[in-house]
Chain A
Amino acid sequence: MPEFSTLLAQVFTGLVLGMIYVLLAIGLSLIFGLMTVVNFAHGALYMLGAYFGVFLLGYTRSFWVALIVAPLMVGALGLLMERFLIRRLYGRSPDDPLLLTFGLSLILIEGVKVFWGKIGLTLDPPRGLAGAVDLGFMIFPAYRLFLIVITVAVLIALYLFLGRTNIGLIIRAGSRDPLMVRALGIDLGRVWLVVFGIGTALAGLAGILAGPMRGAEAEMGVSMVIESFVVIVVGGMGSLLGAVVAGLLIGQVVGLTTLFVPKLAEIMVFLVMAVVLLVRPSGLFGEAGLAE
């Protein structure tokens, strides 16, 4: 048995990974809930978030500017993708947006290789967060603690946005019953844009937040998007609470398996999915039959 402090440190590491999963899965789930579009390019946008972060950091010398602007840039790209490409596919099979975004992610991944080279880049955390913090019961890298705090803050903001604002109300109503929302005279096209923008900006945020730990690398998004799919299947598609709980759960599973049986860490994610499919096919918090 590893020592208790090692175990605790690993739980925190799993929590950090879980936060990244949550950011990605919430974005995916939000987009899916409203538009029944599975955005395969979510991983490529996550990767772009990290690259934009590197670029902005070099350009402005400020991590804080990069942290705010990189997700906005990714979100803007998401807006363009929705408005000019994905929107053409509404009304066709839900498989088609998945296929299209698969093609788009190939373009983005290879485009990044042309632009920034095939070798991965590193992203330095801001100076104030470079060291470690003594939490009293353990010592933990300051940047990772910061990542947890930021993610929680973003989640609370998102919760308030969806639960307390008018547009949040429309988004929730739109994912319940789009026809009725339209009948009430609301232009859902704009709501789609907003949601796609927010969802992809969250992917960008996840990318730049992960940057100081994992660097920026062209292929980094694909395995993340597949694992985020798993998070959504486990949590229940369209359920934001499910995405949060499942993201944190998968983060812990990966973190703890890495400690005990490192070889199994990558496989465990999928085993958890298989068990959930057997025991509760609609996911932990999912409603059966949503968009099936």
Chain B
Amino acid sequence: MSGLRAVARRIGARPVLAFWAFFALFPFIVPNRTMATQVLIFGLLAMGFNLLYGYTGLLSFGHAAYYGLGAYGCGIALAKLHVGSLWLGLASGLLLAGLGGLVIGFFCLRRRGIYFAMLTLAFAQMLYFIAFHLADWTGGDDGLRGIPQLTLGLGPWQYSIETTLGFYYFAYVLVGLAVVALKRILDSPFGAVLRAIRENTSRAVACGYDVNRVKHLSFVFSACFAGLAGSLDALRLTVVPVESLFWTTSGQTVMMTLLGGAGTFFGPFVGAATFLVLEERLSLVLEAWPIVLGAIFSAFVLFLPKGIWGTLTGGIHGRQSA
């Protein structure tokens, strides 16, 4: 255990390098390469959630909204507007998710504490119903179909994302860049203010920070990460199911992050991997596998609130009443 802890600490000290090195080999370690890509994408979604919950101290129960907006933004640009470029598709997804974060964040931040969680959940559910009824654009209940599989243009080079491994490394680079971006955000003075808000909001106010604006910006960043995850998933599946916006997606994100460890850099990825492996193994032997997952999650909340990675690194994330 102490050996494992030392390794975890060392990884935690150089997270970006550790990410690039580990995930370069990841598809060859796991038996199932599709799952390797899923770990990247859902890890990114959980990472976005973690920026808001783990680092800023705001519990969002509605990250399905930004994941879904990213997926629909990318999917609609490619399948309905025929923009014909993966980059434009990804940009549309990111933009739509960021805008969603801007608007929904504005409303949700009008209330603090526990209301915030309920409001994020409510607005995500509203988007679900809107997507459900706006079938001309979203495909409604059938999901958005017909997202073309384009090749990626990088100047004179073409890169195919049609193979599982090809897509994995495409996602690897983008998620890796997002990891770099997150690290930059957390290391900046802005990131320090986020943690100040988490630890003691009134003191941050007293220090003269415009706390609401900082929270709002954190919300938008968080939504952008989630949106990138959604866009990537739309490209991977070439379809956007309407369930992307359903509360189950939000719940899954929350569970992944808490299993891995909220407020830790790698927790979201560890949690996503744990969740997906559990899901795969359990669903083979037990039809009612969500019971076991619910029980494990509840036990984590009760007894292991720092999560797997947080416990390993001896997480410094002291959670306190909001």
Contacts and interface: CB of A to CB of B under 8 A. Distances in A.
Nearest to A88: B302
A264 B322 CA distance: 35
Contacts of A266: 129, 132-133
Interface residues of A, number: 47
B16 to A, nearest CB: 29
A169 interface: no
Q: With a 10 A CB-CB cut-off, give which of A36, A103, A110, A223 has the most chain B CB atoms.
A: A103
Interface string A77-103: 000000001001100111110111011
Given A94-B322, A267-B129, A267-B130, A106 B117 contact: no
Interface in B77-134: 107, 110-115, 117-119, 121-123, 125-126, 129-130, 132-133
Contacts of A140: none
A277 interface: yes
B168 interface: no
Interface in A221-236: 222-223, 226, 229-230, 232-233
Contacts of B113: 94, 291-292
Contacts of B287: 114
B288 A111 contact: yes
Nearest to B294: A106
B117 A98 contact: yes
A99 B291 contact: no
Contacts of A100: 298, 301-302
Contact of A95 (B110, B129, B322): B322
Interface in B282-297: 287-288, 290-291, 293-295, 297
A38 interface: yes
B251 interface: yes
Nearest to A104: B298
B199 to A, nearest CB: 12
Contact of A85 (B258, B293, B298): B298
B59 interface: yes
Contacts of B143: none
A292 B114 CA distance: 7
A99 B130 contact: no
Nearest to A274: B107
B273 interface: no
Nearest to B119: A233
A110 B322 contact: no
A99 B287 CA distance: 24
Given A94-B113, A102-B61, A232-B118, 10 more contacts: A85-B302, A89-B302, A99-B258, A106-B290, A230-B122, A264-B133, A267-B129, A270-B123, A278-B107, A291-B113
Interface of A: 32, 36, 38, 85, 88-89, 92-96, 98-100, 102-107, 109-111, 113-114, 222-223, 226, 229-230, 232-233, 237, 263-264, 266-267, 269-271, 273-274, 277-278, 281, 291-292
B100 to A, nearest CB: 14
Q: What secondary structure prevails in chain B residues at the interface with A?
A: helix
A253 B139 CA distance: 27
A164 to B, nearest CB: 30
Nearest to A288: B111
Contact of B301 (A38, A99, A232, A271): A99
B122 A273 contact: yes
B247 interface: yes
A104 B302 contact: no
Interface string B287-322: 110110111011001100100000000000001111
Interface string B205-247: 0000000000000000000000000000000000000000001
Nearest to A219: B248
B197 interface: no
B117 A38 contact: yes
A176 to B, nearest CB: 18
